[in-house]
Amino acid sequence: MWGVPMQPDADVILDVRDLEAYYGESKALHGVTLEIRQGELVTLLGRNGAGKSTTLKCIMGAIPRRYGSILLRGAEVISAPSNKIARMGVAWCPENRGIFSSLSVEENLLLPPIIAPGGLSVEEIYTLFPNLAERRRSQGTRLSGGEQQMLAIGRILRTGARFLLMDEPTEGLAPVIIQKIGDAIRLLKERGYTILLVEQNFHFASSVADRHYVMEDGLIAEHILAADIGGATERLHEYLAV
């Protein structure tokens, strides 16, 4: 159902090559190339405006003007509509969390349609994030920032998508909450989800990820394995410094 794998290595879930993207006249990505394998947790690090969120949006098909190649389990999706890409087992947790104010917490949670079996049940999600259960009848945007983030993560776990695109899930949250989100992400990794995580919080990223891509000016500037992270710390600080 994922299309005919063209890669010799069937393990590769996402293969992005020479990805370019435009907002109006301005070019945001200048040829991004990256690869993610089954079950990996990979981060995209970099400053504001480096092109991390844009890369996620392109993979999700949410930017109209994108060029290059994006293979999803071997199938080319560079010009596929966003809803088709979602149906191929990709789910996106956007930067602004995307909680709908005209929907209740539970409606928000139930909104994304089930696209494959094997997703978490509503009860499991409420067990993972008990705060949501308490406030299921509230208006979605009445939740605190941390709760909204839990809701944004929770709702894409229901759908059965196994490849998650998460855009700065820790942004603007208190350390306690960040820890909770980190626990949830580690749990997902244990369960075999493949995750591409956009982060500015390097400490958080290094605590969960297998590999890191560092972006700068719409390009991948560096690729660092978790094992090598110690030697790269100084360079990373340079990349991430404002």
Partner 1 sequence: MDMIFGVPLPLLLGQLVLGLINGATYAILSLGLAVIFGMLKVINFAHGAQYMLGAFVAWMMASWLGLGFWYALILAPLVVGAGGIVLERVFLRHLYDKDHLFGLLFTFGFALVAEGLFRYHFGSTGQIYSNPIPGGMQLGFMFLPYYRIFIVGIALLICFGTWFVIERTKLGAYLRAATEDPVLVRAFGINVPLLITLTYGFGVALAALAGVIAAPIQNVSPLMGSHIIITVFAVVVIGGLNSIMGAIITGFALGLIEGLAKVFIPEMSNTVVFVIMAIVLLLRPAGLFGQEQ
Strand partners, 34: 16
Q: Is 136 in the site for partner 1 (CB under 8 A)?
A: no
| List 86, 120, 151, 224, residue binding partner 1 (CB under 8 A) | 86
Tell me the window of 42-50, 67-75, 94-102, 143-151 that interacts with partner 1 (CB under 8 A). Answer: 94-102
Specify the DSSP class assigned to residue 137: T
**In whole angstroms, what is the distance from residue 92 CA to residue 64 CA?**
16
Among 100, 127, 142, 233, binds partner 1 (CB under 8 A): 100
According to the binding rule CB under 8 A, does residue 159 interact with partner 1? yes
- Residue 158 or 211: the one with the smaller Cβ distance to partner 1 is 158
What whole-number distance in Å separates Cα of residue 94 and Cα of residue 234? 29
Does 110 help bind partner 1 (rule: CB under 8 A)?
A: yes
20-43 CB burial, b ≥16 within 10 A, e <16: bbeeeeeebbeebebbbbbbbbbb
The residue (of 46 and 112) whose beta carbon lies closer to partner 1 is 112
**Nearer Cβ to partner 1, position 48 or 102?**
102
Measured CA to CA, the distance from residue 241 to residue 72 in angstroms comes to: 33
Min separation Cβ 35 and partner 1, Å: 22
